[in-house]
Structure 1
Amino acid sequence: MKKRQFQKLGNSISSFQQIKKESEKYWKKIDLEICWGFQIQEGSKWKKGLSEPELEDFQKQLNIVFPESLKNYYRTMNGLDKPGIDNNGGNGDIEFGSIFYSYPDDIPLIKAKIEWIMEANHVTEDIIKNQNVPSIIPYLGHRFLILDNEEVVLSMLGQDIILWGDNLSKGIALDIFHFPNSKPKKIDTNSFWNKKIL
């Protein structure tokens, strides 16, 4: 994917179809690095997108109403057909695991990631209710879509929270194609993520 294509990405189905096509082409020949964290295997392809009944069930199981951007993403693709590989920096056993979370396989993992961020940032049920904290949903590793009117993507690793992408498609493209991210902006965890950028 070229930088000008990236800059035009929105949250339409056609944007996600473009990411799907370009990423599968990109993954046809990809070398694994000796590093920490899950990497995409050569020849990986996206699994088929979800039907409307599957999307409904996905939302019910998470007790989250998906915005149209997230629905369009999952209508187009639903995780990868090969697991990610973590070679642990060459210092141990190779591990396999999910990269882009999929329905229904990764529902427990998605729930656990949400709980972890809530606990790490001391977000209780009372705070959610009284301070109108928007829902969050991870789609890859520690990348979370914030489910409010702005729908930005944050990289959330405990209390280390930065702006990752202006929208879901750009957040996904940044991780796949490794475009240089603009200067990351730190999030004020005391205002949680609903007030966003300092």
Structure 2
Amino acid sequence: MNWREFKSLTESEWYDCDLYEGVCGYQIQPETRWNSGLTHNEIDSLQKKLGFSVPSMYRTFLSELNGFDQDCVDFQAETAPEIYGRICYQYPEDLENTKWLLEEIEQNRKYVNEALQLEGFPFDDIEGYIALYGHRALVVFKNKSLSPVISIVGTDVGVYGKSLEEYWKKELCVNSLG
């Protein structure tokens, strides 16, 4: 995947995107941009903090993109105020903020393993997880050519993308990239 092209395409989509009041769930604000990527040394340092090496595709992604430059907005209900929050995680800043998702994955490991097995992934070869966006996480295997992304809310677990590339295209509705 050409992550620079992906960045350009998504940022142009967000430049004048609409927000939908009354719709629950975080929405990307107009004029949102991706943060600059990490240097090779910063990625190496992140891997040390994680305790495992990241897949090559994620390493390339991180060298170009690292979360959004502004929080997303959620209109909870007509009577509730807007809530802003970081939904697209950036590293290393969000290592602490994403522990909840890693704990949820561990608590529901049986369901995570079942979801991965159904999609043909070797769940006994997992090194760790990296929170990406909301309740979605990259599964990191010993085989670094694998990069599936799971979606997890309690025991409701599914493979949301069989690769990091497939995941981001689906998450951000990018169909025009080959």
State if a TM-score over 0.5 links the two structures.
yes
RMSD across aligned C-alpha pairs, in angstroms?
2.0
Match of 1:155 in 2: 151
Among 171, 175, 181, the alignment partner of 2:171 is 175
Identity of aligned residues (%): 26
Match of 2:4 in 1: 17
- Distance in 2, matches of 1:24 and 1:68, equals 24
Q: Is the 8 A contact 2:126 2:140 kept in 1?
A: no
Match of 2:90 in 1: 102
Following superposition, the deviation at residue 122 of structure 1 comes to 6.3
How many correspondences in the alignment? 159
Q: Is the 8 A contact 2:26 2:72 kept in 1?
A: yes
- Distance in 2, matches of 1:109 and 1:79, equals 13
Q: Is the 8 A contact 1:62 1:111 kept in 2?
A: no
1:177 is paired with a residue of what secondary structure?
Answer: coil
Change (3 A) 1:114 1:94: same
What is the TM-score when the length of structure 1 is the normalising length?
Answer: 0.73
- Distance in 1, matches of 2:44 and 2:126, equals 23
What is the TM-score when the length of structure 2 is the normalising length?
Answer: 0.80
Q: Is the 8 A contact 1:142 1:155 kept in 2?
A: yes
1:139 is paired with a residue of what secondary structure?
Answer: strand
Instruction: Pick the structure with more strand per residue.
Output: 2
- Distance in 2, matches of 1:27 and 1:98, equals 16
Structure 2 runs not aligned, ≥5 long: 112-123
Equivalent position amino acid for 2:4 in 1: Q
1:89 is paired with a residue of what secondary structure?
Answer: coil
